Amino acid sequence: MNEPPLPKISLTPEQESELSMQRSLHFETHRATVLALEELLYKPFSVLDHGFIRVVDYMGDDSAVVQAARVSYGTGTKKVREDRGLIRYLIRHRHTTPFEMCEIKFHVKLPIFVARQWVRHRTANINEYSARYSFLDNEFYVPAPENLATQSSANRQGRGPVLEGEEAANVMRVLREDASRAHAHYVEMMNEDDGRTVQEDDRQGLARELARMNLTLNFYTQWYWKVNLHNLMHFLSLRADKHAQYEIRAYADVMLGIFKQWVPLTYEAFCDYRLRATEMSAQALAVVRRLLAGEPVEQLDSGLSKREWRELMAVMARDI
């Protein structure tokens, strides 16, 4: 399972200085650490056009999952092979609490509309950048041309063919113009030129908590997102799926690479039993058994809806 390399992000000199300072700090500890993740700590990885994600803290590793399951004092004399088998058993049989013993905290910069999808995963801790007392930069997301698509005719929340030519160019122009105009009005209403300096005239300007409401959903926000390993896997099983919206899937793909470095045994089992696996209803399983027995089965006598039938046939790589 070869994952693509994590994308690096270009940083300003000030950001490079802050990152160097953070990475220069060293702490003596008796807790479990993961060398591969330590190498990634604080490093921002680019997502979309202006976004990023980075790990700022974590607790636990694969052995912590095993330790919690066995309620033991430590790794003891158990071999990696045995630990791998136990982790695969836990995921295969949906035991969740051992994975809740590990946690990770991300710093994420993302478009507001992606954040509103992301926040639906409520089993995490979030602290978001506040535009009530901070100034939002003029940074907004504009999709790459290959991600500009029509509305899908078969899926109400999906995309169809890619827009091309003059229509695509017009959409790109509208997105940029609307966002630029909204930010200009945002600054004008507050009577601030850079979020710190009040312009020298008689106007006091609108409060920041009100001025922000004029901004479009493609502007970037930031937050710290802390989640345990069980809920991270649930997030990734949905958001790293091919059916997820591209923009949030771009973040999930980077998180998958981080996940692999942090807990490789859990990552392997997650891919095998969740991300690259499929679930079947009792009716679908009955269809599979009938097919294996050589019995011809059609959708009308399968007990499956047309949609579930199509999904089952696709999983089995059978022509409908």
**DSSP one-letter code for 192:** B
| DSSP output for 237-269 | HHHSSTTS-HHHHHHHHHHHHHHHHH-HHHHHH
* Strand extents, DSSP E, the chain: 45-47, 51-59, 103-111, 125-128, 149-151, 159-162, 220-228
Distance CA 76, CA 46 (A): 39
Instruction: Give the number of C-alpha atoms closer than 13 A to the C-alpha of residue 144, restricted to the C-beta side.
Output: 9
Residue 219 and residue 179 in contact, taking contact as beta carbons nearer than 8 Å: yes
Catalytic residue (one of 54, 208, 212, 239): 239
Helix (H) or strand (E) holding 24: helix 13-24
CB neighbours of residue 84 within 10 Å = 17
Residue 239 annotated as catalytic: yes
Render the burial of 111-121: b for 16+ CB within 10 Å, e for the rest.
bbbbbeebeeb
Residue 269 and residue 87 in contact, taking contact as beta carbons nearer than 8 Å: yes
| DSSP output for 112-158 | HHHHHHHTT--SSEEEEPPTTTSPPPS-B----GGG-EEEPSS-TTS
What is the chain's alpha carbon radius of gyration, rounded to the nearest angstrom?
24
**Tokens representing 272?**
């095998």
Active site (catalytic) residues = 239
